[in-house]
Structure 1
Amino acid sequence: MNGSAHTTSTALDIHLKRGPAGLGFNIVGGVDQQYVMNDSGIYVAKIKENGAAAQDGQLQEGDKILAINGHELENLSHTAAVDLFRSAGEDVHLRVLKRPPLSANGPASSRPDGESSSPFMTNAVITVALVAGLAFILYKGLGAYRRRF
């Protein structure tokens, strides 16, 4: 990945009215929990069904939220960003960098430059491989232990 995930994206202003279930989306990212390599921004992780964001229809998973009610989100911890969202009031103005649309004529990869669809998936694969290796070592070690008696 080249560190600039949104070079061809466009910024958009979105106004949401907080509903009974809040704004209707989850966020990821921050300086302490980078979601995109070399980018400490705040991203939309999930749009909740029937929430304010889903009903509005403009905000999409993968969009980068640049500001909320004029407060820029760059260089904030995840917790600080969550606090801004919680205290934003009923009428919320978001400045959003839209994720680039996937091109039908693009590469076979679903992401530009073949980047992983999720850093969590990469971590999961590495974790499974490590656990399998550890299990193999333990199995072989216990087998040798059993043979002594």
Structure 2
Amino acid sequence: MSAGSRAAEEEIELIRGPSGLGFNIVGGTDQQYVSRDSGIYVSSIKENGAAAVDGRLKEGDRILEVNGVKLENLLHKAAVDLFRSSGDRVLLKVRHQNHLNGPLGSKSDRDSEGTSLAAIVVPVILAAVAIYAFVKFRQRSARF
């Protein structure tokens, strides 16, 4: 990935509120969110939580570090434990993703194998249903 196409990185300090840091994560070596990528990603931001009030963290962002600890090659549970034990003031290093395309980034950053199975299967099923309905309609209307 060239420097011009690299997603922006930012450090964000959050202060833990009554409902925690106010976001959920996905990913890890045992629960890859992106094919062949064991990174930790923000899956949702809780309304009125610390992350939402701050406003910089977005769904799909990759969390690179928590309080200086790199989130590389961790099981999902280990990442969760790291967040839970991180204290009241938490410094996150994040890589903002292209939010129009979600955590996979821009099309040029993706593997061609990253195509969603649903994007292929659904149109094929719809076409099959349409053909079946057309044939049945023709059989019915051809009767005298």
- TM over 0.5, yes or no? yes
For structure 2, list consecutive stretches of 5 or more residues without a partner in the other structure.
123-144
Give the equivalent residue in structure 2 for 1:91: 89
For structure 1, list consecutive stretches of 5 or more residues without a partner in the other structure.
104-109, 130-149
Q: Displacement of 1:112 after TM fit?
A: 2.3
- Is this contact kept in 2: 1:43–1:62, CA < 8 A? yes
State the TM-score, normalizing by the size of structure 2.
0.68
Q: Displacement of 1:10 after TM fit?
A: 1.1
Counterpart residue identity of residue 52, structure 1: A
Q: Displacement of 1:8 after TM fit?
A: 2.2
Identity %: 57
Give the equivalent residue in structure 2 for 1:112: 107
Which structure has the greater CA radius of gyration?
2
Change beyond 3 A, Cα 1:101–1:28: closer
Output aligned runs, 1:37-76, within 5 Å.
Answer: 37-76=35-74
Counterpart residue identity of residue 38, structure 1: R
SS in 1 for 2:79: helix
RMSD (CA atoms): 3.0
Q: Displacement of 1:101 after TM fit?
A: 4.8
Counterpart residue identity of residue 13, structure 1: E
SS in 1 for 2:34: coil
State the TM-score, normalizing by the size of structure 1.
0.66
Deviations 1:37-68 (A, max 9, x none): 11100000000000000000000000000000
Counterpart residue identity of residue 28, structure 1: V
SS in 2 for 1:74: coil
- Is this contact kept in 1: 2:98–2:106, CA < 8 A? no
